Amino acid sequence: MRGTFFVTGTDTEIGKTWVSCRLLERAQAQGLSCYGLKPIAAGCEDTADGPRNEDALALMASSSVKLNYDQVNPVALKAAIAPHIAAQDEQRTVTAERLAGYLRGTLMSHKADLVLVEGAGGWRVPLSYREALSSLPHIMQLPVILVVGMKLGCINHALLTAEAIQRDGLQLYGWVANDLGKPMERLEENVATLEALIPAPRITL
């Protein structure tokens, strides 16, 4: 697996970071250079070095290419709430084009075999009342990896997200079934249903 991919999910807290870290670690085991990016994160702790997000730090720990924190997470919002509301609270304007500018700078200055760009929340999480974070992979024309949190209701969430990704003109490169540490009832049958209905291959970890 080589290239630059956008990692999204069917919801928040369904394992995007966990999956991204495992993919980065697999790449390292195969001798590939790799790193993960978290362009915008809501939910940061104040440190002596500034606000830090645990997802961004996890991506850094699993990356072979070592970047500065501000390159990994250029927009770090303190409150663990919807990003557009957190940005409003901090009187900050966040646009997909600005995030794309940060990404372009890092991608140009740091080459790697695999780069994973992790989103925040699900596919349509707002950046403002005018645009969603899904505008970022569209601007960058990134293939998408979808993390499906395996819980009741996930089939609907997964199919709607896959449909939205394709409607936005992007390639759904593959998807991951993440059991969230609590295997759902009839897990195998639910995974089989998703394998039959999602128009992309399942990525196993």
CA nearest to 57, candidates 36, 79, 26: 36
CA atoms within a 13 Å half-sphere pointing along the CA-CB vector of 98:
12
Distance between CA atoms of residues 178 and 191, nearest Å: 10
Q: Which of 38, 66, 111, 151 is catalytic?
A: 38
Sequence-distant (6+) residues with CB within 8 A of 149 are 9, 10, 11, 13, 14, 15, 157, 178, 180
> 171 with 143: CB under 8 angstroms?
yes
- Is 78 among the residues known to form the active site? no
3-state secondary structure 41-56: EECCEEECCEEECHHH
- Contact, 5 vs 143, CB < 8 A? yes
CA of residue 92 relative to chain centroid, distance: 22
Residue of 11, 132, 117, 111 whose CA lies nearest to 74: 117
SS3 170: coil
Catalytic site residues? Answer: 38
